[in-house]
Copies of this chain bind each other. A is one copy, B any other.
Amino acid sequence: MVKLEKIQYKPIPVRDLLIEIKDLSELMIDLAYSAALFDNRELAEEVLELEEHVDALTYLLNMNVMIAVRDAQDAERLLGVQAVASAANKISDAAADIATIVTQNIRIHPIVTQAFMQVEEHLVRTRINPDSILVGEPLGKLELASRIGVDIIAIRRMGRWIINPKKINLENADILIARGAPHGIDELKKIAEGRVKSWD
């Protein structure tokens, strides 16, 4: 993740910024749905923080785009890049809107839960038990995506959320938010809870 303390110009490749904005905005939608489904205030607050981060990245992208433009042809083509970044930023705003329902303690209507449950690819929250084969395993080497079609999109550890984790060793008591097809999600739950001790 591109780190930003406060928004000031840094020469970061526009391509890196756009990929980060786009990936974060999509992740945020899933996190916002999870926050609503599991009525999880901390996760919702995490989404609101990410929204500010995406705003900052979009601002930086726009600065870098303007500096990169040399002629009319550059300008025309980079306008498209700005438009995509702005669209991704709008998606991130939409995620924040959903998260705000949770932080404002509006009770989630069953209709909303049903709408979020409807999707074939869905979301799960599970906790790693001490006797799970996941304990101590490096997340990257587990290759959950190719093995069971599941992505870990967030981990809660010691009261803090780690968003979009890549290189991390899983630990006992980690709470995982994962996305995937129903059978993969069931498999992950069984393995995390220690009910299944090996991969199929």
* Chain A contacts to B: CB under 8 angstroms: 14-15, 18-19, 22-23, 26, 29, 32, 36, 76-81, 83-84, 86-88, 90-91, 93-95, 97-98, 100-101, 106-109, 111-112, 114-116, 118-120, 145-146, 149, 151, 181, 183
Contact = CB atoms under 8 A, between A and B. Distances in A.
SS class of chain A's interface: helix, strand, loop or mixed? helix
B83 A97 contact: yes
A101 B80 contact: yes
List 6 tightest A-B contacts by C-beta distance, closest first: A90-B94, A87-B94, A87-B97, A18-B115, A80-B106, A15-B111
A84 to B, nearest CB: 5
27 contacts: A18-B111, A18-B112, A18-B115, A19-B118, A22-B115, A23-B119, A26-B119, A76-B106, A77-B109, A80-B109, A80-B112, A81-B112, A83-B97, A83-B98, A83-B101, A84-B112, A84-B115, A86-B97, A87-B94, A87-B95, A87-B98, A88-B94, A90-B90, A146-B181, A146-B183, A149-B149, A149-B181
